[in-house]
């Protein structure tokens, strides 16, 4: 059923993208996005797409769309508004305050379902697709950008970051997020491999990963730099290289990695699924450490 609904969803997105393309290039696009990981990646996708179209835009990132914020927007002179990862719950107020303007809402949150002639509403819930786990706001914006121009497929990795930020990958990606992930992998913008599911594996030294981890807690290690260093030393993994520099996870040999993984699982023996720290990890090959 989700495949059929997804096809209808894509057709709707294509129709909205066609309407968006009709906006005169002389008119500035007013973009408003949500202030969280998903909203920021949503903004990054739409801004990249607009830049590629040589479109003028003005961007705001907001915590919420309250009456004060909506009133302020209504006082602006822009004719075209794009809301990303926000807006579906405020349709009535937005269409009233921005009467006569073009409004594009690209969101995945629950919607109040109101309609308006100049409203182009893209939301999976309107197509019986659960936006809480099947697709993020960034995913919706990515599909819109892709409908505007196929070359925007190279932005798929940003949609995956948004989905992870919205905790949609915790038990594996859904069909739609997996579809977007496959595009990101095909474009070489994201690599997926089995490994330790700890935030910061590409940027932090190993001992800092353990000390600062919010993914799991190990008594005497979490929150203690010296405890993390001693933990590594106790399993025969040196936290520094021959030059005294702190090592990152990528510098470990296969045997060192095996010892670290085993030790972490044993240290989490009291957890319901201690082995859950092992799973798919995602690497952005174009990003510098």
Q: Which domains does the chain have, with CATH numbers?
A: 2-189 (3.90.1640.30), 195-283 (no CATH)
H-state helical runs in 22-90: 37-52, 67-74
CA-to-CA separations, 271 to 20, 213, 216, in angstroms, rounded = 50, 16, 9
DSSP helix/strand/coil, 277: helix
Q: With contact defined as beta carbons under 8 Å apart, do 281 and 197 qualify?
A: yes
| Residue range 186-243, pLDDT digits in tens | 999 999 988 888 877 778 899 999 999 877 788 899 999 999 999 999 999 999 999 9
SS3 assignment for 245-271 = CECEHHHCCHHHHHHHHHHHHHHCCCC
Out of 21-30, 177-186, 242-251, least confident range? 242-251
The residues near 38 (Cβ < 8 Å, ≥ 6 apart) are 85, 136, 137, 138, 162, 163, 165, 166
Question: Residue 288 — very low, low, confident or very high, per pLDDT cuts 50/70/90?
Answer: low
Q: Is residue 1 over pLDDT 80?
A: no
pLDDT above 90: residue 277: no
Tally the residues of the chain.
Answer: 289
- pLDDT tens digits, residue range 28-40? 999 999 999 999 9
Does residue 289 surpass a pLDDT of 60? Answer: no
């Amino acid at each position: 059923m989700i495949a059929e609904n997804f096809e209808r969803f894509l057709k709707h997105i294509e129709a909205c993208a066609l309407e968006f393309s009709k906006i005169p290039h002389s008119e500035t696009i007013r973009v408003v996005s949500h202030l969280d990981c998903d909203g920021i990646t949503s903004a990054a996708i739409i801004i990249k797409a607009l830049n590629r179209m040589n479109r003028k835009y003005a961007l705001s990132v907001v915590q919420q769309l309250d009456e004060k914020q909506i009133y302020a927007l209504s006082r602006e002179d822009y004719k075209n508004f794009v809301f990303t990862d926000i807006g579906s719950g405020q349709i009535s107020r937005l269409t009233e305050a921005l009467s006569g303007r073009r409004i594009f809402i690209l969101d995945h949150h629950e919607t109040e379902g109101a309609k308006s002639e100049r409203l182009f509403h893209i939301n999976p819930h309107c197509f019986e697709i659960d936006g809480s786990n099947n697709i993020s706001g960034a995913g919706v914006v990515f599909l819109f950008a892709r409908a505007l121009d196929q070359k925007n497929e190279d932005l798929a990795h940003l949609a995956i970051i948004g989905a992870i930020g919205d905790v949609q990958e915790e038990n594996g990606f859904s069909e739609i997020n997996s579809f977007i992930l496959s595009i990101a992998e095909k474009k070489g913008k994201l690599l997926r491999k089995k490994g330790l599911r700890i935030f910061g594996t590409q940027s932090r030294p190993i001992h800092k990963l353990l000390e600062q981890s919010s993914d799991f807690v190990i008594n005497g290690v979490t929150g203690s730099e010296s405890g993390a260093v001693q933990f590594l030393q106790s399993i025969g993994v040196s936290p520094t290289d021959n030059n005294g520099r702190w090592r990152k996870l990528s510098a470990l040999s296969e045997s060192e990695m095996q010892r670290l993984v085993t030790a972490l699982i044993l240290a989490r023996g009291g957890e319901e699924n201690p082995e859950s720290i092992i799973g798919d990890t995602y690497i952005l090959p174009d990003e510098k450490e």
